[in-house]
Chains A and B, each alone.
Chain A
Amino acid sequence: MRSTVPLPLTLFAVLVYLFLMGPLVIVIGAALSDTSYLTFPPQGLTLRWFEKIFEMAAFRRTIVTSIQIAFLATAIALVIGIPAAYALNRFRIQLPGWLSTIFVLPVLVPEIVLGFALLRSVATSWELPIFATLLIGHTLIVLPYCVRVVSASLASFDFSVEEAAISLGSPPLKTFFTVVLPNIKAGVIAAFILAFITSINDVSVSLFLTGPGVSTLPIQILAHVEQFFDPVIASVSVLLMLLTVAVMAVVERTLGLTFLAK
């Protein structure tokens, strides 16, 4: 069979992929450079910039906050998102069509606008600590992933199995945990992973919702880059890339990587 792709086009695609990978390779190189400024190719090799991250209190603190927020926001979003996804599939006919649209709204509203609007509400009418507001903001931006991904796996679940269990006398809540949940496990794991990484990487919402003592890693990176141009940020970036690798490995184990292409 003759290939349908002309050679110049293939070469172009190769160049595009070099363009996509190049800067990330450069970050890794810069993180290992034994110079006090960012440079590539690296001059000398050292791991001291990785040690430096954990010597700096601001980074230690924001890494902890970022992980806490990502875990909590994802957990809350799943706890409220799974029932919503279940209802949207199970009671599709009984519920209005706009309800599923509502859960996509956090993706449609620009994140930076959401961050500012939350800040305004907190300052003017709510009296919440900054950590709580940050958590609300993150829960909102990860909720659509949870509802959508769990919905997708519920769409292929045969609800008559659940009805059979209930008609045989299994209580509804128990049926959900023993019959429905095991069948959508892959979707729940995928939702968790996607939501977690979205929260860890978020800038635009966190930007307005950080205050004295409470900040996230990406915000700390931005603040650091504005003052110093040293390889510390490159090594933090390498850590974040390793996290991405770990995430992709989990997704590959649970769903296969082609899932991410959808």
Chain B
Amino acid sequence: MRRLAGWMLSLPALALVVLALILPVGATIVATLLDTAGYGAFFGSGFRRTVLWRTLEIASITTLISLVVGFLTAFVVSRAPPRWRSVLIIAAVFPLLTGVVVRSFAWLIVLGKNGIVNNALIWLGVTDTPFSMLYTQGSVIVAMVYLFVPLMILTLVGVLEGIPDDLIQASASLGAGPAATFRQVVFPLAVPGLIVGAVLVFTGSFTSYATPQLLGGERQMVMGTLLHQRAMVAFDWDGAAVVATIMVVVTILVVLGMTRVAKRLNPMAT
């Protein structure tokens, strides 16, 4: 009776997820497996292999930079006096709630021909003619790091707050310098949070569309923009389905892989 009531109440939401997510995504993946010629076309094309490689590279670099920057900043936030801590948390939430399009677009203004970087370079006398820094791998990575650092900070602040001050002071009073304390005390305790953050940032940047589209354009095509281009410009739906499947597989592999790493590194897990 209670079991039935539980099922009845979950049914509408369950039906939506099954009908509009599991079946369509499942059908897309299964279609590529029935006729594997699509994979031949994907991996036989030097261009598409480059796109996959470039996307993995951009996602890896973005994850690495966001980890370092987010970790150091989150540590400062977690040790700040309570009033400052809430200000700093709000300052990280604000960009996170402001859409991806707005935040990527901001970098068009920063890096564009009449942008602040060019104006500064001209003012400093470094160059006379403004040049565009857009549509390079660097511009995509800068904007992605910008996109994901707030997420990393918020993921890590909670974990770092859980590390008692006494522990850090004990380490210092026993003669460890700040760097040694950081490496040997704070870092190991933050590993679970770092792994969650890394998964979020890697999968987010690997599957992003708006940022690489605005700042990388055709020249820096990545998996997301390739999927859109195959489906909506070339109308090659079989090709698009292959790109989609590879994106799902990479996402699942990263999530599973990192969960394993997390289990191995976390001494508390059984």
Contact = CB atoms under 8 A, between A and B. Distances in A.
A2 interface: yes
B2 A91 contact: yes
Given A20-B146, A38-B109, A261-B89, A120 B241 contact: yes
Contacts of B232: 207-208
A116 B24 CA distance: 9
A4 B14 CA distance: 48
A13 B100 CA distance: 23
Contacts of B10: 83-84, 87-88, 95, 99
Majority-rule SS of A interface residues: helix
A156 B89 CA distance: 24
Given A13-B72, A120-B24, A143 B97 contact: no
Contacts of B168: 4
Interface in B169-185: 169, 172, 178
A26 B251 contact: no
B194 interface: no
Interface in A59-101: 79-81, 83-84, 86-88, 90-91, 94-95, 99
Nearest to A239: B102
Contacts of B100: 201, 203, 218
B93 A261 contact: yes
A246 to B, nearest CB: 10
Contacts of B201: none
B267 to A, nearest CB: 23
B93 A257 contact: yes
Interface residues of B, number: 88
B79 interface: yes
Interface stretch (A45-53, A106-114, A181-189): A106-114
A106 B24 CA distance: 12
Interface stretch (B33-41, B45-53, B114-122, B258-266): B114-122
A201 B101 contact: yes
Contacts of A113: 25, 28, 207, 227, 244, 247-248
B154 A9 contact: no
B144 to A, nearest CB: 13
A240 B27 contact: no
A107 B107 CA distance: 26
A118 interface: yes
A257 B73 contact: no
Given A204-B224, A225-B108, A40 B119 contact: yes
B24 A117 contact: yes
Majority-rule SS of B interface residues: helix
A203 B209 contact: yes
Interface string A198-228: 0011011001100000000010011001000
A237 B14 contact: no
B210 A237 contact: no
Contact of B20 (A118, A221, A241, A257): A118
A137 B143 CA distance: 26
Nearest to A123: B237
A120 B28 contact: yes
Given A38-B108, A113-B244, A225-B105, A207 B12 contact: no
Nearest to B90: A257
A42 B211 CA distance: 24
B244 A23 contact: no
Contact of B14 (A20, A84, A207): A84
B24 A112 contact: no
B94 A248 contact: yes
A5 interface: yes
B253 interface: no
Contacts of B206: 110
Given A9-B72, A140-B21, A203-B210, 13 more contacts: A4-B79, A9-B75, A17-B88, A20-B150, A21-B91, A27-B109, A80-B13, A114-B25, A143-B16, A203-B209, A207-B232, A248-B97, A261-B154
21 contacts: A1-B165, A5-B76, A16-B149, A23-B146, A26-B109, A94-B3, A103-B13, A110-B244, A111-B207, A112-B228, A112-B247, A113-B247, A116-B241, A117-B24, A120-B241, A140-B20, A143-B13, A203-B100, A204-B207, A207-B232, A237-B101
